[in-house]
Amino acid sequence: MSSILSPYPSSPPLLSPLIRDPPDVIPPIDDLEALQAELKLLQQKAYERAKKAGNDLKAIEESMRRMKEKEKGKARAVEKARKGRACACSRVRYPIRTFLDANVVYHTLTRYAQCKRR
């Protein structure tokens, strides 16, 4: 089964000189508008990464849920097989004899009824 998860792209570096080396005076409007556009782009990229992380988390949780259900099914099958082996009356319902002893019939039917209750 191929994985639907893929590596995250690295976040782009901040290129504006206003952030790296803040000036002592107010920068020109053009520089501030360029910084605003760059910050909006970074915000959009961060939103996309967060959305991808949410989708990946859902995929991982779904995969874990399926694995747990699969393990639970295996455990049930093992328990069922274990109970089946412990109950010998499932193979012998009635003794085949020409002369039936009343105690043999009673005990066989009692064990059979106990197995059916499980």
Q: Which tens digits make up the pLDDT trace of 21-73? A: 788 888 899 989 999 999 999 999 999 999 999 999 999 999 999 999 888 88
Q: How far apart are CA 35 and CA 12, in angstroms?
A: 14
Single-letter amino acid, residue 70: K
Q: How far apart are CA 12 and CA 39, in angstroms?
A: 11
Phi/psi class of residue 55: alpha, beta or left (left: φ > 0; alpha: ψ in -120 to 50)? alpha
Q: Domain extents for the chain?
A: 1-86, 88-118
Single-letter amino acid, residue 63: S
pLDDT tier for residue 6 given thresholds of 50, 70 and 90? confident
Task: Report yes or no: 11 and 45 within 8 Å, Cβ to Cβ.
Answer: yes
Encoded tokens for 67? 């694995």
Which residue in this structure is represented by tokens 């089946």? Answer: 84
